[in-house]
Structure 1
Amino acid sequence: MPTRGNLSGPQRAWLARGLEQPGGKLPLFDRDGQKISTRTVKSCIRKGLAEPWFDNPIKPDWLVCRLTDKGRTALTA
């Protein structure tokens, strides 16, 4: 199971933002307005730390995700 020490800086920063949002919604953009790296998003999904939430019909290439219980645990471990 991933722990806080196993997360990269970008993964940790992105997942932590889900702690602040209703339903654990993860942002599409960082605090500077840059799109979150697809590599970061997909690696978190593969590890079970985030999950796709719903399809975005306007931008189908954008993955709208939410934090999983496993992701919450990894951030607080």
Structure 2
Amino acid sequence: MTQALPGEQAHKPTMAQLRYLHRGLRQPGGKLPLFDEHGQQISPQTIQSCIRAGWAEPWFENPIKPEWLVCKLTPAGRALLDIPV
């Protein structure tokens, strides 16, 4: 098995990752959600895996809830969703 080079997609996204990333398309600046459409917190594992893959990046720290990771889509995340940057 070969390793992906920096900036290359190492694997195909899961459905959970795609749902998470796709919701950023409807938000200013590509802000990714903290909660799903049912009000449930997005899995930290989903968020972290999208960051590791380069599809999302931390945006800012939430002063009220510092444990929440507020992220936004990256150009690679938009490309994954086939959306022009």
Report the residue type matching 1:28 in the other structure.
L
Q: Which runs of 5+ in 2 are unaligned?
A: 1-7
RMSD of the TM alignment (CA)?
Answer: 1.7
| TM-score normalised according to structure 2 size | 0.84
- Aligned mate of 2:27, from 21, 24, 28: 21
* Larger-gyration structure (1/2): 2
2:75 alignment counterpart: 69
Report the residue type matching 1:26 in the other structure.
L
Following the alignment from structure 2 to structure 1, what is the Cα–Cα distance between the partners of residues 30 and 67? Answer: 20
2:5 alignment counterpart: none
1:9 alignment counterpart: 15
1:31 alignment counterpart: 37
- The offset of 1:76, in angstroms, is 1.5
Identity of aligned residues (%): 58
Following the alignment from structure 1 to structure 2, what is the Cα–Cα distance between the partners of residues 64 and 35? Answer: 12
| TM-score normalised according to structure 1 size | 0.92
Q: Which runs of 5+ in 1 are unaligned?
A: none
Following the alignment from structure 2 to structure 1, what is the Cα–Cα distance between the partners of residues 67 and 51? Answer: 15
1:42 alignment counterpart: 48
Following the alignment from structure 1 to structure 2, what is the Cα–Cα distance between the partners of residues 51 and 7? Answer: 16
Length, aligned pairs only: 76
| Structure 1 stretches of at least 4 aligned residues deviating more than 4 Å after TM superposition | none
